[in-house]
């Protein structure tokens, strides 16, 4: 079973906050409206582009999404 993107990025929590992936994961954790059960690129991308905070940039999302996809190919 494929885990949600949110569950995947939680592995980046607790890292050095100079790391954009760790900042992204912390931002998603603190964001109570983040689509935590989603595995959909379209849903997540739309959320990041419209509702996410400044630590959840589309550039970092794209990097994390690629790693997420590699894990489940």
pLDDT of residue 18: 94
Answer yes or no: is pLDDT of 13 > 80: yes
- The range of the structural domain enclosing residue 66 comes to 5-71
pLDDT at 28 over 90: yes
**pLDDT reported for residue 1:** 81
**CA contacts within 13 A on the Cβ side of 2:** 12
The CATH number assigned to the domain holding 32 equals: 1.10.150.260
* Residue 1 structure tokens: 């079973």
pLDDT tens per residue, range 29-73: 999 999 999 999 999 999 999 987 888 999 999 999 999 999 987
| Domain total in the chain | 1
The pLDDT value given to residue 55: 85
Query: Scanning the structure block, which residue is given the tokens 């983040």?
Result: 34
Residue 19 carries which DSSP code? S
Alpha-carbon torsion 42, 37, 28, 2, what sign? negative
């Amino acid at each position: 079973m494929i885990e949600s993107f949110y569950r995947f990025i939680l592995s980046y929590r607790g890292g050095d906050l100079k790391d954009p992936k760790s900042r992204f994961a912390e931002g998603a954790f603190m964001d109570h409206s983040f689509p935590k059960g989603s595995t959909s690129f379209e849903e997540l991308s739309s959320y990041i582009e419209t509702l996410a905070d400044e630590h959840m940039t589309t550039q970092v999302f794209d990097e994390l999404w690629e790693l997420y996809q590699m894990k489940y190919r």
